[in-house]
Amino acid sequence: SAAEKGGHEYFMLKEIEEQPEALANTLRGHFVNGRIVLDEQRMSDQDLRDVDKVFVIACGSSYHAGLVAKYAIEHWCRLPVEVELASEFRYRDPVLDRDTLVVAISQSGETADTLEAVRHAREQKARVLAICNTNGAQIPRESDAVLYTHAGPEIGVASTKAFLAQIVANYLVGLALAQARGTKYPDEVAREFAELEAMPDAVSRVLTTVERVRALGRELADSKAVLFLGRHVGFPVALEGALKLKELAYMHAEGFAAGELKHGPIALIEEGLPVVVVMPSPKGRAVLHSKLVSNISEIQARGARTIVIAEEGDETVRPFADHLIEIPAVPTLLQPLVSTVPLQVLAAEIARSRGYDVDKPRNLAKSVTVE
């Protein structure tokens, strides 16, 4: 009923709007007496100090959350991080030992490939930390430690609030590692945590643009395909935006690293093709920002319809943006928490306009327990 959906036409929109709360709940209780604490930590500080390599394993949207984690953990902890699709990892011979930390991300905690990847890692004595949204699910039960996301139950098959909560949980893991390894001073960890605590409000601010993004979604409903471009942490956001559109609107959508444009994807650009570009902050990543501005101008010159997600007050992109969606200024590494939100809304609204069931897309199950 509409009441269950919080007055919305579909659960997904309700869940998109619950994201500030999901983030706040996931952060709660993890900073105590000036230190990051993870839940049910069956791993000691010494175990965290001994970590010399990190593997992140997951499927689908959870894999995209893992890609975001790589940027943060490498930067904060100076540790090598590999992000792997669980379905590939489990059939390879990844090089792991007891000093490898494997972070397994799964909303449901029941995804067959991720579970098998966890078993594969533990057989080689790696320590596994699960990031999971479902209490007592199989993946956390078979892991050495678990960090629960507190997004609450997610009804929509397409992940929204669980995805943002997974990103936040990954940041907590990164900060816990940095704290244990001493690659960040305690006051720096405290400052990073304070930045995270400001994110629920930043997401609430993005939510004020929902109706405008929905209107844009209705305009794009007849498109044949949509491309998504991003760089740095904006690259996994582009992948996630494309996945949402495939899942919900059954539309051909691809996410690309913008730096790859000239290595192939630019050949796809044609008159009227919608291209969504996730811009980095002009202050945080000035070099990447200017490279993306030239990318947008190139694709616009070739007739594409540019949809630009950019920081509030970023005037340089205006001339090249056929549609501008503004997001609040936040630290670079945290930008996916705000830039993903309009892409979720866009996909849902395109799907709705095309007459599809946003909460139950065809051929998909909420948790993939068979391979």
Applying CB under 6 A, among 51, 54, 77, 157 the residue interacting with ligand AGP is 157
Q: Indicate whether 367 belongs to the interface with ligand AGP (CB under 6 A).
A: yes
Q: Using CB under 6 A, pick the residue from 20, 27, 57, 60 that binds ligand AGP.
A: 60
CA distance 336 to 23: 13
Q: How far is the CB of 185 from ligand AGP (least distance, A)?
A: 34
Decide: is 368 part of the binding site for ligand AGP (CB under 6 A): yes
> For ligand AGP, which stretch binds (CB under 6 A), given 152-160, 226-234, 279-287, 335-343?
152-160
Residues of this chain, 113-132, that bind ligand AGP according to CB under 6 A: 114
Nearest one of 64, 62, 127, 124 to 90, comparing CA atoms: 124
Instruction: Kindly state the number of chain residues that form the binding site for ligand AGP, as judged by CB under 6 A.
Output: 16
Does 61 bind ligand AGP (CB under 6 A)? Our answer is: yes
Cα distances (angstroms) measured from residue 180 to each of 70, 85, 94, 148, 363:
18, 27, 25, 20, 44
CA 141, 142, 146, 149 torsion: positive or negative?
Answer: negative
Conformation bin of residue 140: beta by default, left when phi > 0, alpha when psi is -120 to 50: alpha
Rounded Cα distance, 108 and 48, in Å: 25
Exactly one of 27, 158, 164, 202 binds ligand AGP (CB under 6 A); that residue is 158
Residue 104, beta-bridge partner list = 57, 130
Nearest to 276 by CA among 319, 323, 313: 323
Tell me if 223 contacts ligand AGP by CB under 6 A: no
Closer to ligand AGP by CB, 212 or 246: give it: 246
Residue from 22, 43, 59, 330 binding ligand AGP (CB under 6 A): 59
In this chain, which of 25, 87, 100, 111 binds ligand AGP, going by CB under 6 A? 111
DSSP 93-149: -----TTEEEEEEESSS--HHHHHHHHHHHHTT-EEEEEESSTT-HHHHTSSEEEE-
**Would you count residue 241 as binding ligand AGP (CB under 6 A)?**
no
Structure tokens at 176: 């816990």
Please tell me the distance from the alpha carbon of residue 338 to that of residue 26, in angstroms, as a whole number.
16
Beta strands 35-36; 31-32: pairing state: antiparallel
Q: Does 183 bind ligand AGP (CB under 6 A)?
A: no
Task: Determine if 344 is a binding residue for ligand AGP (CB under 6 A).
Answer: no
Closer to ligand AGP by Cβ: residue 166 or 179: 166
**C-beta of 216: minimal distance to ligand AGP in Å?**
21
Catalytic (active site) residue 184: no
From CA 93, how far away is CA 36, in angstroms rounded? 33
Binding status of residue 306 toward ligand AGP by CB under 6 A: no
Q: How far apart are CA 31 and CA 52, in angstroms?
A: 24
What's the closest the beta carbon of residue 157 comes to ligand AGP, in angstroms? 5
Residue 39 contacts residue 147 (beta carbons within 8 Å):
yes
Q: Which stretch binds ligand AGP (CB under 6 A): 10-18, 153-161, 230-238, 262-270?
A: 153-161
User: Is position 106 an interface residue for ligand AGP (rule: CB under 6 A)?
Assistant: yes
Interaction between residue 107 and ligand AGP (CB under 6 A): yes
Looking at 246, 291, 360, 366, which residue is catalytic?
A: 366
Backbone angles phi, psi at 81, to 5 degrees: -130, 125
The residue among 282 and 361 lying less far from ligand AGP, judged by its C-beta, is 361
Question: Taking CB under 6 A as the rule, does residue 311 contact ligand AGP?
Answer: no
- Binding residues for ligand AGP, rule: CB under 6 A, are 59-62, 106-108, 111, 114, 157-159, 247, 364, 367-368
- Catalytic site positions: 366
